[in-house]
Amino acid sequence: MEKYFKKITDHVYGFLLWDESWNSFNNCYVLVEGDEVTLIDSGKEEHFEHLSGEMKKIGIENITRFVATHGHRDHIGGVRFLENVEGYIHEKDLQLVPEELRGKFNTNLREVDNLEHVLLGHHTKGSVALYHKKDKVLFCGDHICFFGEPINGQVVEDGDVTGEKFKKFVSEWSQNEEMRKKRDFDSFIKGLKAMNQFEIEYLCTGHGVVLKGGINRYISELITFE
């Protein structure tokens, strides 16, 4: 199974695992600040042991907080194995969480003091972007993601390849009136504008590579397809 656990910034690690059943990388992120360890998205339930094993290799034994960008199972499945850990999710996505796991979640994201959040609400009603100001990292869930794209051993890239592919997809989407309505293109653009309020150096997506550098310019270019 192809997987990567790489340090992205001083405080952020990325875990990318190739999901053979979906033919895509599924991503999780670990934010380490002193004794505080925040897990951002958890991957599928069946993959959590791989994330846990990689964390232990670098001495991370305990997760102190879990924050979900949204409520799909490839982002919250692993929460089943988190004991005595406060989980957070937007209230609009709580209904996506299996009923037996809802008690693990708090919907007051304002309590997460090391991350700012903004509601995106396109991919799911409660999709959020999470911003770590110190490292200028934006975790955007699946609002922008590179589902099915290979990474060729490169967890972080400048966006010239993968980013341009996604831009082409958005351009084509913008010109198809039927798909604009079906996939709520206007809501997608609104989410991009919400994301672009932050000063971003790294864009950490739910699937595929992490983009580095020129992120605000890149998002602005996507917005021009409005």
The confidence band for 161, taking pLDDT boundaries of 50, 70 and 90, is confident
Predicted local confidence at residue 33, as pLDDT: 97
Largest CA distance in the chain: 51
| Pairing label, strands 202-205, 156-157 | unpaired
Tens-digit pLDDT profile for residues 74-118: 999 999 999 999 999 999 999 999 999 999 999 999 999 999 999
Distance CA 10, CA 117 (A): 20
Predicted local confidence at residue 141, as pLDDT: 98
**CATH label of the domain that carries residue 68:** 3.60.15.10
DSSP secondary structure letter of residue 166 = H
Residue 158 has pLDDT above 90, yes or no: no
Residue 161 or 191, more confident = 191
**Residue among 115, 148, 147 nearest 129 (CA):** 115
Structural domain of residue 147, as residue ranges? 3-223
DSSP secondary structure letter of residue 142 = T
Q: Where are the beta strands (DSSP E) in the chain?
A: 3-7, 12-19, 24-33, 36-40, 65-67, 86-88, 105-106, 116-119, 128-132, 137-141, 156-157, 202-205, 210-212
% of the chain beyond a pLDDT of 90: 96
Predicted local confidence at residue 220, as pLDDT: 98
Tens-digit pLDDT profile for residues 13-58: 999 999 999 999 999 999 999 999 999 999 999 999 999 999 999 9
Average pLDDT on 178-198 reads 97
The count of domains in the chain is: 1
Q: Where are the beta strands (DSSP E) in 128-219?
A: 128-132, 137-141, 156-157, 202-205, 210-212
